Structure 1
Amino acid sequence: MPSCPRCDAPVDDEARYCAQCGAPQTEDAAEELDEYVQRQAEQVAGSGGGGGSDGGDSGSGDAFPSKADLTDREQLWRRGSYALGYGTVVVALTRVPAPESWPLILGGIAVLPPIRRLTAEPLGSPLKREVMAGLYAVFALIGIALFVLL
């Protein structure tokens, strides 16, 4: 029984690919794999590539434009969201045993830009910036109210 040249796992005589690592075992399989990779590369290049970073509400139709596509206002919004979100989480973590810290942590997380990307799949589209700011405000108000009352 021959072995795979890549991983030294035993392979069947008729196997086109290694069952362990997926390496092609015949010239035909290698050519087939090369053609498949080439088609995939052309498809990705034809569709504009990735660039799937979180973005704002640009009018280009792309839910998550690359950083270069963001306007100054959207870049400012993103930077402010990161600063506000992480700042709130850090402040809340200093008060972790207290009940008011948990709504503040949730509010800080809710305003972070990556949360828009994470909510886009189950909801069908990313939440708008205003919704994210509203969630932050609700959680922050609950945390502040708990701080004052307790």
Structure 2
Amino acid sequence: MPSCPRCEASVAEEARFCVQCGAPQTEDAAEELDEYVQRQAEQVAGGGEESNGSDSFADMAELNDREQLWRRGCYVVGYGTVVVALTLVPAVGAFPLILAGIAILPPIRRLTAEPLGSPLKREVMAGLYAIFAVIGAALLFLL
């Protein structure tokens, strides 16, 4: 019985990958793994969208920085709104403000992806935040 070149565990003759460490055992398996890793890297670099090949690496880094800034801002605004709303809890307008703060948090965007088939766009999340915040503010001032 042959052994894995990476971890030296025994592997079956027909095995394409090692059951212990996952290392490819044949050239075909190694090429398949390389192609899979390349596809995954392209998906991550392209934000999950199909890349047309015209985007440079610098553009991708800028997009990632923008996305990170957007997420950080969403966390600050979302948690800030929730904290302010929790201080106003007896008031009726606090509940839409809590929903507004929760609606803009990035994990909510990912959680909506499964039932809806794809994550909501950032603009939709910001719109939901704005709608709930306006309703909450109007209820606070009117009641």
Q: Could you state the TM-score of these two structures normalised by the residue count of structure 1?
A: 0.59
Q: Does 1:35 find its partner at 2:28?
A: no
Cα distance in 1 for residues equivalent to 2:34 and 2:96: 44
Work out the number of aligned pairs and report it. 108
Structure 1 residues 149 and 113: CA distance shift in structure 2, 3 A? same
Which ranges of structure 1 fall in alignment gaps of 5 or more residues?
1-31, 52-57
Equivalent in 137, 144, 148 of residue 137 of structure 2: 144
Which of 70, 76, 80 is equivalent to 1:77?
Answer: 70
Q: Deviations over 1:95-145 (max 9, x none)?
A: 111111100000000000111110001001000000000000000000000
Distance in 2 (alpha carbons) for counterparts of 1:97 and 1:120: 33
- Percent identity, aligned pairs only, is 63
In the aligned structure 1, how far is the partner of 2:139 from the partner of 2:81?
15
Whole-angstrom distance in 1 between the partners of 2:103 and 2:70: 14
**Cα 1:62–1:44, aligned 2, differ >3 Å: closer, same or farther?**
farther
1:109 corresponds to 2:102 = yes
Distance 1:82 1:116 in 2: 12
1:134 aligns with: 127
**Matching residue of 1:60:** 46
Q: Could you state the TM-score of these two structures normalised by the residue count of structure 2?
A: 0.62
**Helix, strand or coil at the partner of 1:71:** helix
User: How far, CA to CA, are the matches of 1:114 and 1:141 in structure 2?
Assistant: 22
Q: Deviations over 1:37-87 (max 9, x none)?
A: 738xx8988644xx9xxxxxx871527xxxx96522211111110000000
